[in-house]
Structure 1
Amino acid sequence: MTHIHPTPAAEFWEARYQGGDRIWSGRPNALLVREVTGLTPGTALDLGCGEGADAVWLASRGWRVTGADISRTALERAAGHAADAGVADRVRWERHELGVTFPEGSFDLVSAQFLQSPVPLDQDRVLRRAAAAVAPGGTLLIVMHGGWPSWQDEPPFDVEFPTLTGVRAALALPEGEWSFTTMEKVRKPSVSPEGIEGFREDNVWRIQRAGH
């Protein structure tokens, strides 16, 4: 795993993961499954892979995956998840503080699922680097929360949520080289930790890079 120096962002996420045995559900993100099912497996980069559910799902469907995250604890859990699923030989784990360091190489699929953080993250820079890492003919998949859940009465911190057109503009993709296959706001059911039912809205962009 790539070494990174302790920073406020690294310390925040390490503390977050060490605060519980498992932070996420262990299931792949539904919009990743929706958008990637049907693509021909190749090489994939999972940015902010967390505990590895998306990377393991991709590997189990034939992709050769690089998973990158800021937290060593998250990556250790992800490696254990891959081993349990029998796909450890199809996934490489790298530790990066995205925006500072970034995985090398090009990939047939670059997935950025919910790269949103309560600590500083240069989101636009990371997404532009993600686009640059897409191989000719490959796919960039971005999924972001579009707002707080409906049951969130008081936002816990100030944040500007990305919009469909805002992310498209921030990517600054060359005309004629990319096509937006999906650019959509999706509403899904959501339940608060206290059991309050509601919904939240996510934005999804699937962008295809032209081949040679």
Structure 2
Amino acid sequence: MTIEMFTEDYWEQRYRSRGALWSGRPNAHLVSDVAGLEPGAALDVGCGEGADAIWLARRGWRVTGADISPTALERAAEHARAAGVEATWVRADVLSWVPEPGRYDLVTAGFVHVPAGLREPLFARLAEAVAPGGTLLIAGHHPSDVGVVPRPDVPELFFTADELAAALDPGAWEVQAADARPRTVAHPEHGGEVTIHDAVLRARRR
């Protein structure tokens, strides 16, 4: 593993290499787990080209999207304008960035993968940004996917929801979901259907 995977240059090269890096569809776990919440202030960490942030903004959330890539943020802003919604876009290196504590009614991070040792303080900072009564939603690739579909050969990037839940103070948090959720996808190499799992943590600050 190289630290270059987590730099602005790395992600700028990835975004500039293609007209669109992601599908433009919101994260399915965001849709399922947030649809019933009362809109408020939301922080989307690792927002990429803005699909999740735009989905939230369309539903009345006041959204801040944060990402390390200026190109991603430019595309997100363009997509928001085309969708007729407003959001705030922040260039942030999540390995060091500290969002304002207690500010957001929802903090979400979809498939933000950094190694163990860096992941724990990152997610702790995101948890601290959740307001009382607010929700923390984190989704990522489950370790069981390694070998099922192509993933970076860096096993320490992946995590379980139980690992994330164990880091939350039970006196301060109600864990509402800590799942390995299955979904069926087409294998990117041979095209056949395979079942993979996403680690999904949803917790409410008491």
Is this a same-fold pair by TM over 0.5? yes
- Name the structure 2 match of 1:92: 88
- Name the structure 2 match of 1:102: 98
| CA-CA distance at 1:123 after TM superposition | 1.4
For residues 17-46 of structure 1, the C-alpha deviation after alignment (integer angstroms, 9 at most, x for no partner) is 111000111010001100001100000000
Q: Which amino acid aligns with 2:25?
A: R
% of aligned pairs identical? 47
- Name the structure 2 match of 1:143: 139
RMSD in angstroms over aligned alpha carbons?
Answer: 2.1
Q: Which amino acid aligns with 1:107?
A: Y
Tell whether the 8 Å contact from 1:96 to 1:103 is kept in structure 2 after alignment.
Answer: no
| CA-CA distance at 1:199 after TM superposition | 1.9
Q: Secondary structure at the match of 1:184?
A: strand
Q: Does residue 118 of structure 2 align to residue 122 of structure 1?
A: yes
- Name the structure 2 match of 1:17: 15
Q: Secondary structure at the match of 2:77?
A: helix
| CA-CA distance at 1:120 after TM superposition | 9.0
Q: What CA distance in whole angstroms lies between the structure 1 residues aligned with 2:117 and 2:195?
A: 26
Q: What CA distance in whole angstroms lies between the structure 2 residues aligned with 1:47 and 1:125?
A: 14
Gaps of 5+ in 1: 1-5
1:54-69 pair list within 5 angstroms: 54-69=52-67
Return the match for 1:167 from 158, 164, 167.
164
> Would you say how many aligned residue pairs link Structure 1 and Structure 2?
199
Return the match for 2:202 from 176, 200, 206.
206
Gaps of 5+ in 2: none
Tell whether the 8 Å contact from 2:43 to 2:107 is kept in structure 1 after alignment.
Answer: yes
Tell whether the 8 Å contact from 1:149 to 1:198 is kept in structure 2 after alignment.
Answer: no
Q: What CA distance in whole angstroms lies between the structure 2 residues aligned with 1:80 and 1:74?
A: 10
Change (3 A) 1:104 1:155: closer
TM-score using structure 2 length: 0.89
Q: What CA distance in whole angstroms lies between the structure 2 residues aligned with 1:39 and 1:78?
A: 23
TM-score using structure 1 length: 0.87
Q: Which amino acid aligns with 1:56?
A: I
